[in-house]
């Protein structure tokens, strides 16, 4: 259901992680772990788009995705704290931006669930 706003947010998370997958790894973690995190979070975001019929599971999985993206950012935090301004260090903030979009998707799913429950109450 691409017409739902949370699907757009999750697709943006997928695109950010796909871009991050093809960019070179930098920071404290190795290339294998970098690729694994990017692939895992990207596939999870793409899978959440197709779980639109199970909103409660989609809500909990999107919160898990937010935590996973924050963990991914936290593993690179020592590299971010060096305060070296170069393009390779701006790459490290992409998981934080993706976590923001995943949280926006969670809020939209929660709003959608609230709307469905209010309509069920009227029947």
pLDDT in tens, the chain (123 residues): 456 788 889 899 999 998 888 877 655 566 677 788 888 888 888 888 888 788 788 888 889 999 988 888 887 776 656 666 555 667 778 888 999 999 999 998 888 888 888 877 665
39-67 exposure pattern, b = at least 16 Cβ within 10 A, e = fewer = eebbebbbebbeebeebeebbebbbebbe
Are the C-beta atoms of 63 and 45 separated by less than 8 Å? no
Q: How far apart are CA 92 and CA 108, in angstroms?
A: 26
Q: According to DSSP H, which parts of the chain are helical? A: 5-22, 31-49, 55-75, 77-80, 87-90, 94-122
Cα torsion 39, 15, 22, 24: sign:
negative
Are the C-beta atoms of 22 and 38 separated by less than 8 Å? no
Write out the two tokens for 35: 């690729």
């Amino acid at each position: 259901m691409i017409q739902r706003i949370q699907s757009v947010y999750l697709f943006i998370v997928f695109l950010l992680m796909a871009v991050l997958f093809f960019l070179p790894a930098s920071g404290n973690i190795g290339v294998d772990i970098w690729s694994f995190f990017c692939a895992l979070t990207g596939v999870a975001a793409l899978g959440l788009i197709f779980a639109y019929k199970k909103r409660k599971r989609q809500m909990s999985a999107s919160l898990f995705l937010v935590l996973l993206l924050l963990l991914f950012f936290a593993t690179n935090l020592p590299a971010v704290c060096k305060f070296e301004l170069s393009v390779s260090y701006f790459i490290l903030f992409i998981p934080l931006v993706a976590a923001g979009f995943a949280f926006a998707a969670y809020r939209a799913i929660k709003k959608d669930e609230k709307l469905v429950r209010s309509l069920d109450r009227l029947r």
